[in-house]
Chains A and B, each alone.
Chain A
Amino acid sequence: MQLLRGLFLLVYGLLATLPLCWMALSSLKSRDDTISPYARFVPSLVQEAARSVGAPLGSAAAVSTFTPTVAAYGALSSVHAGAQGSFWSYLRSSVLIGVLSTAASVLLGTCCAYGFSRYRIPGAKDWLFFVLSTRFMPPLAVVVPVLMMYRELSLTGTALGLILLYTVFNLSLAVWLMKGFLDEIPRAYEEAAEVDGYSRLHAFVHIILPQARTGMAVTAVFCLISAWNEYGFAMTLNSSANTTVPAYFAGLQGNIDGMPWPQIAAGGLLFVTPIVLFTVLVRKHLLRGMTFGTIKQ
């Protein structure tokens, strides 16, 4: 059993990480190596040496190796034709827009969900349905009206424009997720705090929020991933360097020398790293789940 499980994990692990490994390898190749008809996946620092000892040209050993280079990472710093900035400036925008819109969604969503969870609101169910209904339509269906609106408000080409947009998109998800989590927190905590002399707001900040951490972490992961990977609006509303990394990759397509694959692989690798890091950081919260041990229900 143990062996089977280990075997399964090994196979699955290989399958899951293979694309990432391939991307990492590609980022170290020269462009010729990435578009070679043979799969070159063995980085070799001694390729020339291998050739010189007489391995015939075209033999497996020769064709499957490539000479690693970090040139692609260097190329990320240059501003390619048609772009407004280097990869790094796009990444900076991505971080700014992703973090701020996630923070705003989680914060607003938590406050809103707290209201729905704790107060009697006339027509609460209808309101919640309305909140959810904002997600019924694919967001890209409204790209033109949003573009026209943003032009009037001079929000096109700004980071603020995308932050607002992503916050709004993710808010409904945040409200629904957080409502579920907050409903699980017994009211007795707030009641205890109120009897102890605290205001409702104080109880919310000092008692409820710390216990909603798990929910907020989960919500933040969802919001961040969605904002981080969004492409359509980032592309349409923003042609400046204030836009996010997905738009940068799209811009590389017009390159006159063909697709710069090593550069795309290098950028892609750097682009997924923050998300992976963030998810690993909050993993403790994600896995801990709802372990309230102090109020039985």
Chain B
Amino acid sequence: MSRVELTGVTKSYTAGTLAVDRVDLSIGSGEFVVLLGPSGCGKTTTLRMVAGLELPSGGKITIDGEDVTRKGPAERDVGFVFQFYALYPHFTCAENIAFPLECAGVERRERAERVARVALRLGILDLLPRRPRELSGGDQQRVALARAMVRKPAVYLMDEPLGTLDAERRAELCEFIREQQLSTGVTTLYVTHDQEEAMRLADRVVVMSAGKILQAAPPLEVYDQPANRFVAHFVGSPGMNFVEGELAGGRFRSGHYGEGFACAPGSLPSGGGGRLVLGIRPEFVKLGPASDSGHVRGRIVADEDLGSSRALHVDTPCGRLVARVAAESPGRRGDEVSLTLEARGIRWFDPGDGASLP
């Protein structure tokens, strides 16, 4: 059980460009934190700096109060799971899993015992005598997880461990990782660009973009109260709708939609009116026949099947809005519809910096 603290951690590769820009993050003991962001946002670099595989250009990293900023990976007591497994191909799976124990000077018999125990827990006992290249990707990643979990390090660090697996395997291993983490209680920092994974696993999601942390909060809060437009759009699929416009006297007018519509009093921002961006998630955009008295009228231009639901892209005078509706609900391409924006789903953002407004 260990706390991990990052204070002002910065990484620049070449002068001028910052891969990670003054990141402050405090991970509590036993907490499962997921770094979420698009590729190139600095999440993997941050993880690698915690592992000691990259040296920060500035800032401080502590594990359990001990400053490890300049220490090598071997001195940090971390378990790392790589995106591409990184199993040693010339060893059998059993030898792979035993490798960290060998270094720790664990005696041969105990080594075999602990390998068997962790393999049993991960359901890979039958894979032990085989070589990594004979296994499927999912099984290889299980072995890699076993290699990290055979010790009980201070922190587990996982770099998109499920990124190369197919959806079914991913869901299965996702559940499994969470289970293991809960039962061992080891502090975990996990990197992914997949928001579903992040939502499923995390105690706390840390959304990153361009080397900065945009929001660090529990999954539901990130979804419900996004800190800014980027988070609102990146989290959720499809992302949040945005309409830029002017709010005055309880009516919201968009540039191309002169008359605008009245907003329910409960959904107004506390800061009053002015130029604002209205944000609403697709599931709060309700569809009705064109004759309805909705907020705004439009025509369906695309119909995206999401399996259990459908995303209807509607061109309106306020711009394109996406509505998420039940799979069996009416509404086909070309239909004229009326849209109602549910008051409880409305969020407001600053048009300049995109920050969320209370």
Contacts and interface: CB of A to CB of B under 8 A. Distances in A.
Nearest to B159: A188
Interface of A: 186, 188-189, 191-199, 202, 207, 210-211, 291-297
A194 B85 contact: no
Given A194-B53, A295-B86, 14 more contacts: A191-B86, A192-B82, A194-B74, A196-B103, A196-B147, A197-B74, A198-B103, A291-B133, A292-B133, A293-B89, A293-B132, A294-B86, A294-B133, A295-B84
B100 A197 contact: yes
Contact of A294 (B74, B87, B100): B87
A297 B82 CA distance: 13
A191 B84 contact: no
B99 A294 contact: no
A120 B84 CA distance: 24
A210 to B, nearest CB: 5
Contacts of B80: 191-192, 195
Contacts of B103: 196-198, 202
A191 B132 contact: no
Contact of B140 (A186, A195, A197, A294): A294
Q: Which of B74, B80, B103 has the most CB of A within 10 A?
A: B74
Contacts of B51: 191, 195
Contacts of B100: 196-197
B82 A293 contact: no
Contacts of A188: 82, 84, 86
A186 B73 CA distance: 17
Nearest to A194: B73
A193 B99 contact: yes
A210 B86 contact: no
A296 B164 CA distance: 9
A203 to B, nearest CB: 10
A229 B2 CA distance: 63
Contacts of B255: none
A210 B52 CA distance: 25
B86 A186 contact: yes
Given A196-B99, A196-B147, A198-B74, A292 B89 contact: yes
Interface in B75-94: 78-80, 82, 84-90
Contacts of B132: 293-294
A195 B74 contact: yes
Given A191-B80, A195-B73, A295 B85 contact: yes
Given A294-B89, A294-B140, A191 B74 contact: no
A210 B72 CA distance: 24
Contacts of B87: 294
Contacts of A207: 88
9 contacts: A186-B84, A192-B80, A192-B147, A194-B52, A195-B52, A197-B103, A294-B132, A295-B86, A296-B164
Contacts of A202: 103
A211 B89 contact: yes
Given A292-B89, A296-B84, A195 B133 contact: no
A65 to B, nearest CB: 55
B104 interface: yes
Nearest to B48: A191
A228 B245 CA distance: 83
B149 to A, nearest CB: 12
B134 to A, nearest CB: 8
A192 B80 CA distance: 7
Contacts of B88: 189, 192-193, 207, 294
Contacts of B99: 193, 196
Interface in B84-142: 84-90, 99-100, 103-104, 132-133, 140
Given A296-B84, A296-B164, A195 B89 contact: no
Interface in B240-296: none
Contacts of A199: 74
Interface string B183-197: 000000000000000
A210 B82 CA distance: 21
Contacts of A293: 89, 132-133
Contacts of B74: 194-199
A202 B99 CA distance: 12
Q: Which of B86, B90, B103 has the most CB of A within 10 A?
A: B86
Contacts of B89: 211, 292-294
A193 B52 CA distance: 12
Nearest to A196: B100
Contacts of B84: 186, 188, 295-297
Contacts of A196: 74, 99-100, 103, 147
A211 B86 contact: no
A44 B156 CA distance: 78
